[in-house]
Amino acid sequence: MQVLVHGGAGSAPDDPEGRQERLERAADSGAAETDPVDAVESAVRVLESDPRFNAGIGSAVQSDGAIRTDAGLMTDDRSVGAACSMPGVERAVSVARLVLEETPHGFVSGEHAVALADAYGIETGVDLWSDRTRERWADLETPPADDPRAQLEWIRERYGQSDSGGRTNSDADSTEPPADHDNAGRGPASRGPTDHDTVGAVAFDGEALAAATSTGGRWLALAGRVGDVPQVGSGFYCSPAAAVSATGAGEDIARVTLSRRVARHVERGRDADAAAELALEEFAELTGSTAGVIAIDARGTLGSAYNSVAMQTASATRRS
């Protein structure tokens, strides 16, 4: 089994070594499985349970103060499962798998996805807050949780343009270096320190492929916002040619269906690495935005590309 994982495209992360270790552990855990679906689920779960990543525990907080998780999973026979907007669900990837395996649907949302998870024994009601997200949220002057207009006003200037500390665009561009100075002067989508950290995995056992992506979305997003991650072809995709997982500015990834683009380039003859590079170039040209992708093709070639400051990846291979 070959497994490649990512820990999100974005700014330079805190504790890169600790995160890298966890990514290696996730890849190893996936490679120990004998089925690619088990492999991507297992790898993603290792990352969802780690508060340093924006998936499961430690996920981003939406404008009403709630944390909602999203995930998508796909196999090379084009079976798809996705679930979104799930408060209290750490193992979003397992709910995506449940949708794929147990329902005639491809995508289930919100309270119904949570109820479905609960009915099938996936833990719900989990406290997804980490110390880091609690502190960051407490530092913000937040709008009333029951006023969507006030929330929209509040996020309008902040979403994708400032970090979770609420600095404005002009603050971030000022000569005074912000705390996360690694981000200063970069594209808007790279500024939020917790805007990276979405997680994903792709796996290949020599015959079959699978892809999965899981996230808490992005900081300073309107309550109920759903990004690319659970949208098939955008945050994840798998065809007989390649399995792909994407990360980055979700609205921009979705409008160019970034993951599908990578698989299409493999279908037309490129290997996973060249396909990832090419799709990301197209993405950057079309949107001017920031993202990253990982991919594995049906020859077992691994690929990755990103145009953010950082995107950590890890891979593992285990012969069965």
Ligand X SMILES: NC(=O)C[C@H](N)C(=O)O
- Whichever of 198 and 307 has its CB closer to ligand X, that residue is 198
Least separation in angstroms between CB 314 and ligand X: 17
Q: Which of residues 216-255 bind ligand X (CB under 6 A)?
A: 217-218, 227-229, 247-248, 250, 253
Indicate the residue whose CB is closest to ligand X: 250
Contact in structure between 129 and 157 (CB atoms under 8 Å)? no
Q: Please tell me the number of Cα atoms within 13 Å of 9 on its side-chain side.
A: 24
Distance in angstroms (rounded) separating the CA atoms of residues 92 and 81 = 11
Residues in 252-271 at the binding interface with ligand X, rule: CB under 6 A: 253
Q: For residues 122 and 254, which CB has a smaller minimum distance to ligand X in the complex? A: 254
> Catalytic: 75?
no
Angle at 235 between CA 146 and CA 173, to 5 degrees: 65
The nearest distance, CB 228 to ligand X, in angstroms, is 5
Smallest gap from Cβ 251 to ligand X, in A, equals: 7
**What phi, psi does 48 have (nearest 5°)?**
-65, -30
158 contacts ligand X (rule: CB under 6 A): no
The answer to whether 64 is a known ligand-binding residue is no
One symbol per residue from 36 to 75: x for binding ligand X (CB under 6 A), - otherwise; what is it?
Answer: ------------------x---------------------
Which residues, 6+ apart, have CB-to-CB distance to 265 below 8 Å? 274, 275, 278, 279
- The single residue among 28, 50, 76, 195 that binds ligand X, judged by CB under 6 A, is 195
DSSP one-letter string for 79-125: -EEEEEEEET-S-HHHHHHHHHHHSS-SEEEHHHHHHHHHHTT---S
Integer Cα distance of 285 and 77 in angstroms: 31
- Specify the amino acid at residue 40: V
Instruction: Kindly state whether residue 215 participates in binding ligand X, applying the rule CB under 6 A.
Output: yes
Q: Which stretch binds ligand X (CB under 6 A): 88-96, 105-113, 138-146, 195-203?
A: 195-203
Nearer to ligand X, 9 or 296 (CB): 9
Question: Alpha-carbon distance 99 to 76, whole Å?
Answer: 16
Q: Is 135 exposed, middle or buried (0-12, 13-18, 19+ CB in 10 A)?
A: exposed
Say whether 288 counts as a known binding-site residue. Answer: no
Q: Which residues are catalytic?
A: 198
Q: Binding site residues for substrate, as ranges?
A: 225-228, 247-250
Q: Which residues bind ligand X (CB under 6 A)?
A: 8, 54, 195-198, 215, 217-218, 227-229, 247-248, 250, 253
Q: Binding site residues, as ranges?
A: 225-228, 247-250
